[in-house]
Amino acid sequence: MDDQPARVPDDLYQEGRAHDGPLADRLLRLRNMTPDAARLISTLIRARRATSVLEIGTSNGYSAIWFADALRDTGGRLTTVDTEAARVTAALANLERAGVRGYADVRHADGAETLAGTPDASVDLVVLDAERPAYAGYWPHLRRVLKPYGILAVDNVVSHRDQVAAFRELLASAAEFAVDLHEVGDGVLTGVRVR
Ligand SMILES: C[S@@+](CC[C@H](N)C(=O)[O-])C[C@H]1O[C@@H](n2cnc3c(N)ncnc32)[C@H](O)[C@@H]1O
């Protein structure tokens, strides 16, 4: 990122922390991924030269700014979905503020429905950062929509180990995925579709 957009996610992250701090109800929190996790996934986008990225769980667009910035470099586009309309509105404004609005489609939509409507072998990288118990149900579509050497990135696998256990078992038993756990932020699991 050049200097000006770089300040936007930094400010947004601090705003998110300040917003979430006093809130007891988890669902009211913005729950932005850590800067290290966003940076890792952005690097994967660039290294893969990904042009089609799907994020499930937009919140206020913090991670989407990082991904859209990487997709500006690759000539690609982010689709990011959230079930909360107010968050979609906030994300659009924040992407605009960061100068990367043109590289993202922000949709008020459910992750499972979005995956079900996504064509086979059409996505370079999928980011899961929503309600973790639902991920196991996403699995048949995740397998279907990723391109060869496509990448799955799942946040919070260390911080919420129990909630992703069933999903991790599915991924580990799939011979076509090379799986790695990255001790970054709250723990990022990656699966690369190698065959
Ligand atoms: C952890 S936050 C996402 C944080 C965001 N990726 C970031 O780092 O800035 C999870 C978001 O997932 C959304 N969400 C929950 N269930 C969803 C679903 N089934 N489909 C899409 N979004 C969902 C919530 O409304 C919430 O905004």
Mutate to test the pocket of ligand 1, among 26, 33, 82 (most ligand atoms within 8 A of CB): 82
* 110 pocket-lining for ligand 1 (C-beta < 6 Å): yes
Residue 171 in any domain: the answer is yes
Quote the CA–CA distance of 1 and 175 in Å, as a whole number: 36
145 lines ligand 1 (CB under 6 A): no
155 within 8 A of 184, measured Cβ to Cβ: no
Residue 39 lies in a domain: yes
Residue 172 falls within a domain, yes or no? yes
Residue 125, pLDDT score: 98
For the chain, 195 residues long, the average pLDDT of each consecutive 10-residue run is 64 90 88 96 97 98 97 97 97 96 98 98 98 97 97 97 96 96 97 95
Distance 111 CA to ligand 1 centre (A): 9
pLDDT at 5: 53
For residues 152, 158, 21 and 99, what is the CA-based torsion angle, rounded to 10 degrees?
A: -20
The predicted structure's pLDDT at residue 9 = 87
Atom 11, ligand 1: which residue's CA is nearest?
57
Instruction: Provide the token pair at 71.
Output: 């997709």
28 domain-assigned? no
Quote the number of domains for the chain: 1
Q: Which two tokens stand for residue 67?
A: 């991904």
* 27 in any annotated domain: no
Q: With a 6 A CB cut-off, is 40 part of the ligand 1 pocket?
A: no
Instruction: For residue 108, list its beta bridge partners.
Output: 82
Tokens of 40: 């890792």
- Residue 105 counted as domain residue: yes
Tell me the C-alpha distance between 36 and 113, whole Å. 29
Ligand 1 centre distance from Cα of residue 160 (Å): 15
pLDDT of residue 171: 96
d(CA 68, CA 158): 25
CB 194 within 8 A of CB 166: no
Q: Which two tokens stand for residue 179?
A: 């799986």
- 32 CA from centroid of ligand 1 (Å): 9
Six-digit token string for 175: 């011979």
CATH of the domain at 162: 3.40.50.150
What separation in angstroms does the CA of 185 have from each of 6, 19, 36, 162?
A: 19, 19, 6, 17
Position 1 scores a pLDDT of 52
Interstrand relation of 177-182 and 188-193 (parallel, antiparallel or unpaired): antiparallel
Output the CA torsion 173→188→138→90 (10° steps): 180
Give me the domain span that covers residue 50.
3-21+33-193
Q: Which pTM was predicted?
A: 0.96
Instruction: Please give the pLDDT value at position 6.
Output: 65
Which two three-digit tokens encode residue 191?
A: 């699966």
Characterize the bridge pairing of strands 146-155 and 123-128. Answer: parallel
Strands (E) located in 57-195: 77-82, 104-108, 123-128, 146-155, 177-182, 188-193
In a domain, 50, yes or no: yes
So what's the pLDDT on residue 26? 85
Q: What pLDDT is recorded for position 3?
A: 47
Gap from CA of 169 to ligand 1 centroid (Å): 22
The CA 115 to ligand 1 mean position distance, Å, reads 14
Q: Is residue 165 part of a domain?
A: yes
